[in-house]
Structure formats: C-alpha cells, structure tokens
C-alpha cells in the first residue's frame, strides 16, 4: 500500500525552497519496528513496488528469498517526481531541481519522520545504489550494511556523457521517452547479450530484424507508463552522483562511513563499469575499510542486476 510523508520547506542543494514534497513509500514483510529494516532504493524507471505483484526485484526479495520477508521489514521510497503517485507535475517544472544528494537527504528526512534510527541494510541498483552511497555519506552511522549494486559513489565521465545524450533526446525528439529508451537499452545491455538473444534473426511479419522490433517494444512500453518530466528528472539525478562534493576527497568521506560495504559489480556492465568499482574497492581497502567486492558474471551488461538473481543472492547471503 502506497503511503505518504509530507516534507515541508526543503532547501535543495542549489538553494531552492520547495514548500511541500509528498514522499511516498511502501513497506513489505514484517511490520515496521518488529524486525531489522532493509531500505531498497529503486533505479531510474523503477518505483517503490520492489516485490509482490508487479515487483521489479521479486527474484531477490520475498518469502524464502535472499531478503526474506519472514525475517526483515523492507522499506522503499519513491524518488519524488518519478510519477508513481500520479502527481509528478507538482514539483518538477525544473527537472534539474534535485541531485542524488537531495534525494538521499529527502529519504533521510523520511526515515526520521518514521522514527527509524538504524538500517540493517541499504541496497540499490544503478542510480538507487548511488543514492544509497549518498545516504551513507550523509548519515555515516545509519546503515549497518551498505550494498551498492551496479553503481558507484560518483557519476563518471562515461556516465555523464551518456546522460547528456539521453537529455538531448528528451529535449529534442518528437517522441522523446520512446526514443531515449531505445538509446538507453544499448547501454543497459551488451553486444554479446544482443548476439545471444537475437543472433541477426529476422521478423518477417514486421519486416525488420528482431533486435529492432525488441527496441521499439521497449520504447513503446516505457512511453506508456513513464512521463517525460520524470525521465528528465531521473536522468539528471543519475548524472549528478558525487559523495565528495563539498566534503573533501573520497578517502576522507569514506573513512567516516561506519557501514560494512559490499560492492556488487557486473563484469559486462558498460554503464557503471566493474573497472570503476574495482578502483573504489582498492581505495577503500587502502584506508582499511570493511569492504567486499562481488562480481556478477553475465553477458547481459548493466541490466544483469535485474536478471542474475541466483548470483546476486549468493553474493549477499552472508548479509541476509
């Protein structure tokens, strides 16, 4: 059930004052305050429905799953403006209103309003994992286990470049959400994934290659359920993750985070690359942080965190 916390007079990182932000959320599993709490942050086109009917992470979260709903309380906020409450237009006339730190700050206010002072874990994939990094930097003692999946603590040059292309499509295309999604699927998957799935097969009925039909399908599907304003905003948040902004270098910031850190990468990820995560891992080891680095082996690229549930569960079994 979607619930709402009202946040008043929030000052954004760029100094704007927002009179009212409805922060919507859902709770799954054990009743709130009766069990350890796991915060799950959604990715760009995701939402708070992380499990159950239409749950986008059902392979990881559920009764008897890795994050067992018979043992944990699972909490998930919607990024304000993602449109899941049906009223996204109320605050995002300026799609650059929030960066990732703002979203983490809004989530932190939500946690305080719910009287939550400790999280067993905070986990998120892609931009959701970047927001988890930001939350850990904001509240260093809040999270016992920080689990950034297919993500990093900053938006790399490569990531920013792809977000810029996405932004230009969203601003200039006559069919913006559809067309931006076509481009996005190329960076969410990998060449080998496409070869394995399609292998140059042709759809005679549609008179096009199956890869082309598949891309058009994903464009149409997202266009039906995701608004232009939400896509522009979330793309901007994705391009603006940086826990060091105004705080010093990475080692200085990370040294204050009390969490055990479990970095999960995908070896074929061409968006948040495993090489960047490896650098982060070695930086953390260099300051004697309690950190592990798990690798999902998959041909499916960035989206493997939504596909390879058996490997992800195996990598996280000691946490849960």
Q: Which domain holds residue 69?
A: 3-154+241-316
- End-of-domain residue from the set 236, 262, 292: 236
- End-of-domain residue from the set 236, 268, 298: 236
Q: Which residues of the chain are modeled with pLDDT < 50?
A: none
pLDDT per position as a tens digit, 152-187: 999 999 999 999 999 999 999 999 999 999 999 999
22 and 94 co-located in one domain:
yes
pLDDT per position as a tens digit, 120-156: 999 999 999 999 999 999 999 999 999 999 999 999 9
pLDDT per position as a tens digit, 49-71: 999 999 999 999 999 999 999 99
The residues facing 125 across adjacent strands are: 149
46 and 120 co-located in one domain:
yes
pTM: 0.96
Q: How many residues does the chain have?
A: 320
232 and 249 co-located in one domain:
no
- State residue 87's pLDDT score: 63
Domain CATH number, residue 122 = 3.40.50.1820
- End-of-domain residue from the set 217, 236, 255: 236
Residue with tokens 């999946």: 149
144 and 278 co-located in one domain:
yes
133 and 17 co-located in one domain:
yes
206 and 112 co-located in one domain:
no
Determine the Cα–Cα distance for residues 24 and 110; give it in Å rounded to an integer. Answer: 9
Give the chain's domain count. Answer: 2
Q: Which of 235, 262, 263, 111 is nearest to 167 (CA)?
A: 235
Assigned token pair, 130: 């970047």
81 and 198 co-located in one domain:
no
- State residue 51's pLDDT score: 97
Which H or E run includes 77?
strand 73-77
250 and 284 co-located in one domain:
yes
- State residue 289's pLDDT score: 85
């Amino acid at each position: 059930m979607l619930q709402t916390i009202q946040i008043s007079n929030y000052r954004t990182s760029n100094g704007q004052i927002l009179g009212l932000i409805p922060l919507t959320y859902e709770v799954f599993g054990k009743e709130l305050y009766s069990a350890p709490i796991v915060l799950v942050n959604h990715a760009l086109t995701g939402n708070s429905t992380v499990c159950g009917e239409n749950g986008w992470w059902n392979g990881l979260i559920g009764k008897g799953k890795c994050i067992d709903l018979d043992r944990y309380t699972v909490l998930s906020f919607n990024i304000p403006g993602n449109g899941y409450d049906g009223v996204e237009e109320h605050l995002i006339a300026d799609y650059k209103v929030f960066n990732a730190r703002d979203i983490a700050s809004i989530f932190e206010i939500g946690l305080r309003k719910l009287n939550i002072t400790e999280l067993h874990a905070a986990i998120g994939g892609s931009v959701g994992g970047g927001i988890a990094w930001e939350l850990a930097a904001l509240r260093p003692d809040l999270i016992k286990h920080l689990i950034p999946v297919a993500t990093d603590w900053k938006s790399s040059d490569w990531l920013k470049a792809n977000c810029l292309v996405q932004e230009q499509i969203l601003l200039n295309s006559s069919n913006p959400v559809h067309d931006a999604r076509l481009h996005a699927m190329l960076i969410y998957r990998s060449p080998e994934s496409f070869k394995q799935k399609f292998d140059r097969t042709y759809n005679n009925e549609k008179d096009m290659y199956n890869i082309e039909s598949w891309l058009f399908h994903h464009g149409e599907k997202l266009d039906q359920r995701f608004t232009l304003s939400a896509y522009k905003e979330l793309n901007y948040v994705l391009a603006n993750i940086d826990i060091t902004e105004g705080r010093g270098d990475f080692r200085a910031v990370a040294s204050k985070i009390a969490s055990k850190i479990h970095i999960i990468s995908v070896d074929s990820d061409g968006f948040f690359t495993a090489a960047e995560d490896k650098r982060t891992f070695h930086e953390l080891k260099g300051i004697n942080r309690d950190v592990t680095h798990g690798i999902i082996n998959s041909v499916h690229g960035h989206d493997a965190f939504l596909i390879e549930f058996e490997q992800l569960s195996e990598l996280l079994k000691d946490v849960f």
